[in-house]
A and B are shown apart, each in its own frame.
Chain A
Amino acid sequence: MMSAVPVYWFLMLSAVLFALGVAGFLFRRNIITVFMSIELMLNAVNLSFVTFSYQLKQVNGHLFTFFVMVVAAAEAAVGLAIILTVFKNRSTLNIDEVNSLKN
Protein backbone atom coordinates (compact mmCIF):
# COMPACT_ATOMS: atom_id res chain seq x y z
CA MET A 1 0.00 0.00 0.00
CA MET A 2 3.06 2.18 0.35
CA SER A 3 3.35 4.46 -2.55
CA ALA A 4 6.18 3.71 -4.86
CA VAL A 5 7.24 7.29 -4.75
CA PRO A 6 9.84 7.85 -2.03
CA VAL A 7 8.72 10.15 0.73
CA TYR A 8 11.43 12.60 0.33
CA TRP A 9 10.39 13.36 -3.21
CA PHE A 10 7.24 14.80 -1.79
CA LEU A 11 9.26 16.68 0.73
CA MET A 12 11.62 17.96 -1.90
CA LEU A 13 8.70 19.09 -3.96
CA SER A 14 7.30 20.83 -0.93
CA ALA A 15 10.64 22.49 -0.23
CA VAL A 16 10.94 23.71 -3.79
CA LEU A 17 7.41 25.04 -3.71
CA PHE A 18 8.20 26.84 -0.48
CA ALA A 19 11.30 28.35 -2.03
CA LEU A 20 9.21 29.45 -5.01
CA GLY A 21 6.88 31.19 -2.62
CA VAL A 22 9.74 32.94 -0.93
CA ALA A 23 11.08 33.97 -4.31
CA GLY A 24 7.73 35.35 -5.34
CA PHE A 25 7.46 37.28 -2.14
CA LEU A 26 10.88 38.75 -2.60
CA PHE A 27 10.68 39.91 -6.17
CA ARG A 28 7.15 40.56 -7.13
CA ARG A 29 5.95 44.13 -7.20
CA ASN A 30 2.23 43.74 -7.13
CA ILE A 31 1.06 43.37 -3.55
CA ILE A 32 -1.61 40.90 -4.55
CA THR A 33 0.89 38.63 -6.22
CA VAL A 34 3.12 38.93 -3.21
CA PHE A 35 0.24 37.71 -1.15
CA MET A 36 -0.30 34.86 -3.58
CA SER A 37 3.29 33.83 -2.95
CA ILE A 38 2.38 33.37 0.68
CA GLU A 39 -0.36 31.01 -0.41
CA LEU A 40 2.27 29.02 -2.29
CA MET A 41 4.33 28.79 0.87
CA LEU A 42 1.36 27.65 2.90
CA ASN A 43 0.59 25.00 0.34
CA ALA A 44 4.12 23.77 0.54
CA VAL A 45 3.74 23.43 4.28
CA ASN A 46 0.45 21.63 3.86
CA LEU A 47 1.99 19.24 1.43
CA SER A 48 4.67 18.41 3.96
CA PHE A 49 2.09 17.86 6.64
CA VAL A 50 0.06 15.52 4.53
CA THR A 51 3.15 13.62 3.52
CA PHE A 52 4.26 13.21 7.09
CA SER A 53 0.79 12.25 8.15
CA TYR A 54 0.63 9.60 5.47
CA GLN A 55 4.00 8.38 6.53
CA LEU A 56 3.09 8.26 10.20
CA LYS A 57 -0.31 6.74 9.48
CA GLN A 58 -2.00 9.40 11.54
CA VAL A 59 -4.70 11.94 10.87
CA ASN A 60 -3.20 14.67 13.04
CA GLY A 61 -1.26 16.06 10.14
CA HIS A 62 -4.41 16.16 8.05
CA LEU A 63 -6.18 18.07 10.74
CA PHE A 64 -3.34 20.52 11.06
CA THR A 65 -3.47 21.06 7.33
CA PHE A 66 -7.18 21.58 7.55
CA PHE A 67 -6.77 24.25 10.17
CA VAL A 68 -4.00 25.86 8.18
CA MET A 69 -6.46 26.16 5.33
CA VAL A 70 -9.14 27.68 7.53
CA VAL A 71 -6.62 30.13 8.90
CA ALA A 72 -5.45 30.88 5.39
CA ALA A 73 -9.01 31.75 4.45
CA ALA A 74 -9.36 34.10 7.39
CA GLU A 75 -5.99 35.61 6.64
CA ALA A 76 -6.88 36.08 3.00
CA ALA A 77 -10.14 37.80 3.89
CA VAL A 78 -8.43 40.24 6.21
CA GLY A 79 -5.33 40.65 4.13
CA LEU A 80 -7.20 41.41 0.95
CA ALA A 81 -9.32 43.92 2.84
CA ILE A 82 -6.15 45.62 4.02
CA ILE A 83 -4.81 45.60 0.48
CA LEU A 84 -8.05 47.17 -0.75
CA THR A 85 -7.75 49.95 1.80
CA VAL A 86 -4.18 50.62 0.83
CA PHE A 87 -5.24 50.78 -2.76
CA LYS A 88 -8.08 53.16 -1.93
CA ASN A 89 -5.72 55.52 -0.16
CA ARG A 90 -2.80 55.39 -2.52
CA SER A 91 -4.17 54.21 -5.86
CA THR A 92 -1.25 51.92 -6.29
CA LEU A 93 -0.45 48.35 -5.56
CA ASN A 94 3.23 48.66 -6.20
CA ILE A 95 4.92 47.36 -3.15
CA ASP A 96 7.88 49.67 -3.56
CA GLU A 97 5.70 52.74 -3.46
CA VAL A 98 4.34 51.88 -0.07
CA ASN A 99 7.32 53.15 1.82
CA SER A 100 6.41 56.33 3.60
CA LEU A 101 7.29 54.86 6.97
CA LYS A 102 11.03 54.79 7.27
CA ASN A 103 13.96 56.27 9.09
Chain B
Amino acid sequence: MPTSYTELYFPVLVQALIAMGLAGGLLTASYILGKRVRNRVKDMPYESGIVPTGDARQRFSVKFYLVAMLFILFDIEAIFLYPWVVVYRELKMFAFVEMLVFVILILSGFFYMWKKGALDWSGTDLSRRRR
Protein backbone atom coordinates (compact mmCIF):
# COMPACT_ATOMS: atom_id res chain seq x y z
CA MET B 1 0.00 0.00 0.00
CA PRO B 2 1.54 3.27 -0.96
CA THR B 3 1.70 5.80 1.83
CA SER B 4 1.72 9.04 -0.02
CA TYR B 5 0.30 10.54 -3.12
CA THR B 6 3.66 10.68 -4.65
CA GLU B 7 4.13 7.00 -4.21
CA LEU B 8 0.62 6.31 -5.37
CA TYR B 9 1.08 8.09 -8.62
CA PHE B 10 4.73 7.39 -9.04
CA PRO B 11 4.16 4.74 -11.73
CA VAL B 12 1.97 7.13 -13.68
CA LEU B 13 4.67 9.68 -13.46
CA VAL B 14 7.31 7.31 -14.61
CA GLN B 15 5.20 6.35 -17.57
CA ALA B 16 4.53 9.94 -18.44
CA LEU B 17 8.20 10.73 -18.17
CA ILE B 18 9.15 7.86 -20.38
CA ALA B 19 6.58 8.88 -22.97
CA MET B 20 7.70 12.45 -22.94
CA GLY B 21 11.33 11.51 -22.92
CA LEU B 22 10.81 9.27 -25.89
CA ALA B 23 8.93 11.89 -27.86
CA GLY B 24 11.36 14.59 -26.90
CA GLY B 25 14.30 12.38 -27.64
CA LEU B 26 13.02 11.49 -31.08
CA LEU B 27 12.32 15.08 -31.94
CA THR B 28 15.67 16.18 -30.70
CA ALA B 29 17.35 13.44 -32.59
CA SER B 30 15.65 14.38 -35.83
CA TYR B 31 16.44 18.00 -35.15
CA ILE B 32 20.09 17.26 -34.61
CA LEU B 33 20.49 14.64 -37.26
CA GLY B 34 18.15 15.94 -39.91
CA LYS B 35 19.08 18.37 -42.61
CA ARG B 36 17.43 21.73 -42.21
CA VAL B 37 16.29 23.42 -45.35
CA ARG B 38 14.27 26.56 -45.08
CA ASN B 39 12.83 27.98 -48.22
CA ARG B 40 9.46 28.97 -49.61
CA VAL B 41 8.60 25.60 -50.91
CA LYS B 42 9.46 23.95 -47.65
CA ASP B 43 7.30 26.39 -45.70
CA MET B 44 4.34 25.84 -47.96
CA PRO B 45 1.48 23.76 -46.63
CA TYR B 46 1.63 20.19 -47.85
CA GLU B 47 -1.39 19.41 -49.98
CA SER B 48 -0.77 15.91 -51.22
CA GLY B 49 1.98 17.13 -53.44
CA ILE B 50 -0.18 19.62 -55.27
CA VAL B 51 1.11 23.15 -55.33
CA PRO B 52 -1.20 25.21 -53.12
CA THR B 53 -3.15 27.84 -54.94
CA GLY B 54 -4.39 31.09 -53.58
CA ASP B 55 -4.35 32.40 -50.12
CA ALA B 56 -4.77 30.14 -47.18
CA ARG B 57 -7.54 32.37 -45.95
CA GLN B 58 -9.82 31.28 -48.72
CA ARG B 59 -10.12 27.86 -47.27
CA PHE B 60 -11.25 29.35 -44.10
CA SER B 61 -14.26 27.57 -42.71
CA VAL B 62 -15.66 28.22 -39.30
CA LYS B 63 -17.34 24.85 -39.24
CA PHE B 64 -14.14 23.42 -37.87
CA TYR B 65 -14.43 25.83 -35.10
CA LEU B 66 -18.02 25.01 -34.34
CA VAL B 67 -17.21 21.33 -34.18
CA ALA B 68 -14.41 22.05 -31.76
CA MET B 69 -16.92 24.01 -29.77
CA LEU B 70 -19.23 21.02 -29.62
CA PHE B 71 -16.31 18.95 -28.48
CA ILE B 72 -15.70 21.32 -25.57
CA LEU B 73 -19.37 21.20 -24.68
CA PHE B 74 -19.38 17.47 -24.31
CA ASP B 75 -15.96 17.43 -22.81
CA ILE B 76 -17.23 19.46 -19.91
CA GLU B 77 -20.32 17.38 -19.61
CA ALA B 78 -18.21 14.27 -19.39
CA ILE B 79 -16.08 15.82 -16.72
CA PHE B 80 -19.10 16.65 -14.67
CA LEU B 81 -20.37 13.15 -15.09
CA TYR B 82 -17.31 11.69 -13.44
CA PRO B 83 -17.90 13.00 -9.91
CA TRP B 84 -21.58 12.43 -10.44
CA VAL B 85 -21.00 8.77 -10.93
CA VAL B 86 -19.05 8.68 -7.71
CA VAL B 87 -21.91 10.05 -5.66
CA TYR B 88 -24.79 8.64 -7.62
CA ARG B 89 -25.13 5.62 -5.38
CA GLU B 90 -25.52 7.81 -2.35
CA LEU B 91 -27.84 10.43 -3.65
CA LYS B 92 -29.95 8.41 -6.04
CA MET B 93 -32.97 10.33 -7.26
CA PHE B 94 -31.65 13.69 -6.19
CA ALA B 95 -28.48 13.31 -8.16
CA PHE B 96 -30.43 12.04 -11.08
CA VAL B 97 -32.65 15.10 -11.18
CA GLU B 98 -29.70 17.37 -10.77
CA MET B 99 -27.90 15.80 -13.64
CA LEU B 100 -31.05 15.73 -15.71
CA VAL B 101 -31.42 19.48 -15.49
CA PHE B 102 -27.80 19.90 -16.38
CA VAL B 103 -27.94 17.56 -19.32
CA ILE B 104 -31.15 19.07 -20.66
CA LEU B 105 -29.53 22.47 -20.71
CA ILE B 106 -26.42 21.09 -22.38
CA LEU B 107 -28.51 19.23 -24.90
CA SER B 108 -30.52 22.30 -25.77
CA GLY B 109 -27.20 23.91 -26.57
CA PHE B 110 -26.37 20.98 -28.76
CA PHE B 111 -29.78 21.14 -30.41
CA TYR B 112 -29.27 24.79 -31.13
CA MET B 113 -25.91 24.22 -32.77
CA TRP B 114 -27.23 21.34 -34.72
CA LYS B 115 -30.15 23.35 -36.05
CA LYS B 116 -27.82 26.20 -36.81
CA GLY B 117 -26.02 23.91 -39.16
CA ALA B 118 -22.87 23.20 -37.24
CA LEU B 119 -23.08 19.53 -38.13
CA ASP B 120 -24.16 20.06 -41.69
CA TRP B 121 -21.24 19.45 -43.95
CA SER B 122 -23.17 19.49 -47.20
CA GLY B 123 -21.83 22.90 -48.06
CA THR B 124 -24.85 25.00 -47.22
CA ASP B 125 -25.81 25.66 -43.73
CA LEU B 126 -29.30 25.66 -42.44
CA SER B 127 -29.77 29.34 -42.53
CA ARG B 128 -28.97 29.42 -46.21
CA ARG B 129 -31.19 26.53 -47.03
CA ARG B 130 -34.04 28.21 -45.35
CA ARG B 131 -33.69 31.21 -47.52
Q: Return A68 CB to nearest CB of chain B, in Å.
A: 13
For the residues of B in contact with A, the DSSP-based class is: helix
Query: How many A-B contacts at CB < 8 Å in the complex?
Result: 15
- The answer to whether the Cβ of B76 comes within 8 Å of any Cβ in the partner chain is yes
Size bin of chain B's contact surface: under 10
Docked pose: A28 CA to B74 CA in angstroms = 32
Binds B, one of A8-16, A39-47, A76-84, A94-102: A76-84
Q: Note all chain A residues with C-beta closer than 8 A to B65.
A: 80-81, 84
Say whether A73 contacts B57, CB under 8 Å.
no
For the residues of A in contact with B, the DSSP-based class is: helix
- The answer to whether the Cβ of B13 comes within 8 Å of any Cβ in the partner chain is no
Q: Note all chain B residues with C-beta closer than 8 A to A80.
A: 65
Using an 8 Å CB-CB cutoff, how does the interface string of B49-77 with A read, 1 for contact, 0 for none?
00000000100101001000100100110
- The answer to whether the Cβ of A26 comes within 8 Å of any Cβ in the partner chain is no
Q: A70-B76, A77-B69, A77-B72 are in contact. Are A84 and B4 (CB under 8 A)?
A: no
Q: Note all chain B residues with C-beta closer than 8 A to A91.
A: 57
Interface residues of A in 54-90 (CB under 8 A from B): 70, 73, 76-77, 80-81, 84, 88
| CB<8 Å pairs between A and B, sample of 5 | A1-B4, A76-B72, A77-B72, A80-B65, A81-B65
Additional 12 contacts, C-beta under 8 A, given A73-B75, A76-B72, A77-B72: A1-B4, A70-B76, A73-B72, A73-B76, A77-B69, A80-B65, A81-B65, A81-B69, A84-B62, A84-B65, A88-B60, A91-B57
- Interface positions of A (Cβ within 8 A of B): 1, 70, 73, 76-77, 80-81, 84, 88, 91
